[in-house]
Amino acid sequence: MINNKKIAYLGLGSNIGERIVYIEKVISELENSGNISILKISGIYETEPWGNIRQDDYLNAVLKIVTELGPMELLVELKSLEKKIGRTGNRKWSEREIDIDILFYEDFIIKNENLNIPHSFIEERKFVLVPLAEIAPDFIHPVLKKSAAEMLSTSDDKLGVTLYGNVKTEVL
């Protein structure tokens, strides 16, 4: 039998309400999913908003997962999970109860109206690069051909990214 499991990286973000509860709910739901297994969880970071800066700070994390779902199936499952957990609204760069983004899916490059993989602007966003470099410093961006650690070291992003509480990286 051929193994169809693929590695993907997910970005989590929340800046409305009980931010930590939303992040923890995503992790719990994914751990109990039959379609997705979590391999690594970054620390949780408090970050200044990027884009629309007139909003509260975010909590962000990155997950390394394995799944048999294809990229579009994974997107559908994650958007359904966002709604289940309580996401309302969908405007670009708006405040969010929870946001789950597919950052990378193997070394796939997909660009259409529904999905961009690798996720846009990763190399410009320390709120993604810090937790990504924590759990996968050697992961190579399939377009830029730079590792997560290299992208972080050359990022011009000056926004604050600090570890939130005593949350540590967990390898499952």
Which residues have a catalytic role annotated?
87, 96, 99, 101
**What end-to-end distance do the CA atoms of the chain give, in Å?**
25
- Contact at 8 Å (CB) between 119 and 142? no
Query: Distances from the Cα of 55 to the Cαs of 17, 47, 91, 95, 164, in angstroms?
Result: 12, 11, 13, 7, 18
Q: What is the DSSP letter of 53?
A: -
**Amino acid in the structure at residue 82:** E
| Helices of type H across the chain | 19-31, 71-85, 126-135, 148-154
Please give the distance of CA 81 from its chain centroid, rounded to a whole number.
Answer: 14
Beta strands 99-105 and 6-14: pairing type?
antiparallel
**Amino acid in the structure at residue 52:** N
